[in-house]
Structure 1
Amino acid sequence: MGTGAGSIVEFDNVGLRYGTDREVLSDVSFTLYPGSFYFLTGASGAGKTSMLKLLYCAQRPSRGVVRMFGNDMITLPRQRLPEVRRRIGVVFQDFRLVPHLNAFDNIALPLRIAGMSEREIAKPVADMLEWVGLDQRADAHPATLSGGEQQRVAIARAVIARPEMLVADEPTGNVDPEMAVKLLRLFEALNRLGTTVVVATHDVHLLRKVPDSLIMRLDKGRLSDPTGALRYPPRREGMPR
């Protein structure tokens, strides 16, 4: 597969196995472009979570070529991994909020790690709390938040540093259908600003909720419908700057 003009992620005949087990991903090839919205779908056990681990640099492939933001991820020195990871926001299915931090501090965490001052942090975090509809819950700790509220905090934390790509693993799996649609609208708003969004889901009903989305289907570790290689939606507004 040649280098795609303007692409941010390229997989070329990628395979992944854990230890000596059989491959969980086989001969996977696709290209992701800036500003596109992708659903990654497939039955349970199809390899969606393994694919996402490759996308957010938690795992290296067993074979094949992975390029991200112009970097060959196979040969990239380990000390340069953090610089690539900073360009990617991740929303986990189990939220992974820090239990002893309130909503404000959970969202602020990436900015503090990046060395920003409290004065620099205050407004963007307040704006983000308002954007996800939790401006009245800034002081609430995760244990006192509903599942949908926790997920919105997790989304806000993932995007507070304006990542170029957002990867979400079954983000609507623990919420009711109404909240699922609200969460998708947040992802759409981020996408309208130009962020590439990849949402893994087994819920086929969600696939019709985002009209401009592209669908990649995994079947037993193989990508059977890599439709995301061609579309390049325009940059749009929709999220606080």
Structure 2
Amino acid sequence: MSTRAEGEIVHFDNVGLRYSTDREVLSDLSFTLFPGRFYFLTGASGAGKTSLLRLLYLAQRPSRGVIRMFGKDAITTPRSGLPAMRRRIGVVFQDFRLVPHLSAFDNIALPLRVAGFSEGEIAGPVSDILEWVGLADRRDARPATLSGGEQQRIAIARAVIGRPEVLVADEPTGNVDPEMAVKLLRLFELLNRQGTTVVVATHDVHLLKKVSSPLIMRLDRGRLSDPTGALRYPPRRPS
């Protein structure tokens, strides 16, 4: 097992994943993610991007190997300790996973309420982010009345409202128009500049050109290649 490098936020060491007795869907994954970096995870459909993201946001345990998150062994951490670790991770799901009986406002506010913020502390930030994603007039709407693109924007707002240390996004621009896609990437970049480590999974190679100097991790049939040195890139020096 490799030792923890100074400043790392995520470390995978020889990680493999299989869902049944069939072959592994992910094999021999060894990489380190550093604070304050912006990563794109690319690869063809079926390459294993969503499976890798599930490992990153601790929804899935690997079949083998070691995963360290925030300096702790995520595999041996007791189940009772996982919720606190997960609260440090924001997730944008491909299928949104909004709570159907809650309004747009309350869906976004949910992570802050779980973290114990008061209603007075919640109102301003949630209203601001609704304005930013262009849905201030839909604050009281429930998910069933929103379009796919609107649901996507609410899901992204919910993921970033708590300023997570790690943001994991699975095809976050798949249901919005190109103009909104760029706007959402700018939000991710803003969070990244404030210190959040961002991992965006996408099959849209055009998005890679919209972010300044991203690091690219490419999956091919369950294995990672390293075209930009993303797997060993050192922490960014303070400006």
TM-score bucket of the superposed structures, by smaller chain: over 0.9
Residue equivalent to 2:106: 105
Structure 2 vs 1, CA of residues 213 and 32 (structure 1 numbering), >3 Å: closer, same or farther? same
CA distance in 2, matches of 1:15, 1:22: 10
Give ranges in structure 1 of 5+ residues lacking alignment. 237-241
Q: What SS does the corresponding residue of 2:172 show, helix, strand or coil?
A: coil
Tell me how large the CA RMSD over aligned residues is: 1.7
TM-score normalised by L of structure 1? 0.92
Cα displacement (A) at 1:129:
1.6
CA displacement at 1:34 relative to structure 2: 0.5
Cα deviation for residue 203 of structure 1 reads 0.9
Q: Alpha carbons of 1:234 and 1:175: their partners in 2 closer, same or farther (altered >3 Å)? A: farther
Structure 1 position 166, deviation (Å): 0.3
Determine if the alignment matches structure 1 residue 161 to structure 2 residue 162.
yes
Contact between 1:25 and 1:222, CA under 8 Å: does it hold in 2? yes
1:75-224 → structure 2 map (5 Å cutoff): 75-224=76-225
Letter in structure 2 aligned against 1:172: T
Contact kept in structure 2, 1:87 and 1:164, CA below 8 Å? yes
CA contact (8 A) 2:4 2:71 kept: no
Give a deviation string over 1:105-164, Cα, whole Å, max 9, x none. 111111222233222221221222223232232122223333322212111111112210
1:10–1:68 CA contact under 8 A, matched in 2: yes
Q: 1:10 to 1:24 in 2, by over 3 A?
A: same
1:41, distance to aligned residue in structure 2 (A): 0.5
Distance change in 2, residues 1:231/1:13 (3 Å): same
- Cα gap change, 1:128 to 1:175, in 2 (>3 Å): closer
Kept in 1: contact 2:7–2:235 (CA 8 A): no
Cα deviation for residue 235 of structure 1 reads 6.9
1:239 corresponds to: none
Paired amino acid for 1:24: V
Partner of 1:25: 26
Do the aligned partners of residues 202 and 109 (structure 1) sit closer, same or farther apart at CA in structure 2, a change above 3 Å counting?
A: same
- State whether structure 2 residue 233 is matched by structure 1 residue 230: yes
Distance 1:121 1:185 in 2: 23
The whole-number CA distance in structure 2 between the counterparts of 1:189 and 1:145 is 26
- Counterpart CA distance in 2 for 1:167 and 1:223 is 17
Using structure 2 for the length normalisation, give the TM-score: 0.93
Amino acid at match of 2:55: L
Give the match's secondary structure for 1:136: helix
Residues 40-79 of structure 1 correspond to what in structure 2 (within 5 A)?
40-79=41-80
